[in-house]
Amino acid sequence: MAQPDFPLAVRSLETLTEQVSRCQNIPAIDGGLRLTQVLEEIRNGMRDMRNEVRAVNRKLDDLDRKVGGLDRRMTVAERNGVARMENSSAMRPDAGLAPLFSLETGDEIPGCPSTMEEVGSLAAREIDRILRQLGASTAGTKLAARTRD
């Protein structure tokens, strides 16, 4: 009965191991790994681009809000300029006044006096509130504040 040749088997296993380890040099086998790495790099690049696009979109949204606010403030300032011109000709206590508008909201300022008589009876606190909504300084005397706007 024939006995196994262990030294031959060991050499054969060593040869097999060496040859199998060389398989990683075959382009078809290594290509799968390289392809996986390239795909991962593409995914990472696309994720980075999505993040950058989101950041740009946030900045554009902020800019849009700021431009909208600036447009509103300019429109309100123009409306208030016209109202100031109209109101500057009011001399009698019962003379009607054109309303003024808030730079912050664009709406008519609540409690804004509608006659010269009402202007004269405003408390300092009310004058300051109206001036703040007009974006004007609240410093100075009550008389100076009344004539400011």
Q: List average pLDDT for each run of 10 residues in the chain, which is 149 residues long.
A: 89 91 75 82 96 97 95 94 93 92 93 92 92 86 54
**Which SS3 state, helix, strand or coil, does residue 35 take?**
helix
**Sequence-ordered list of residues with C-beta below 8 angstroms from that of 135, at least 6 positions apart, any chain:** 73, 103
In our burial notation (b when 16+ CB lie closer than 10 A, e otherwise), range 110-139 reads eebbeebeebeebeeeebbbbbebbebeee
Cβ atoms of residues 114 and 99 within 8 Å = yes
Distance CA 75, CA 84 (A): 14
Question: What is the per-residue pLDDT for 62?
Answer: 97
pTM for the predicted model, two decimal places? 0.56
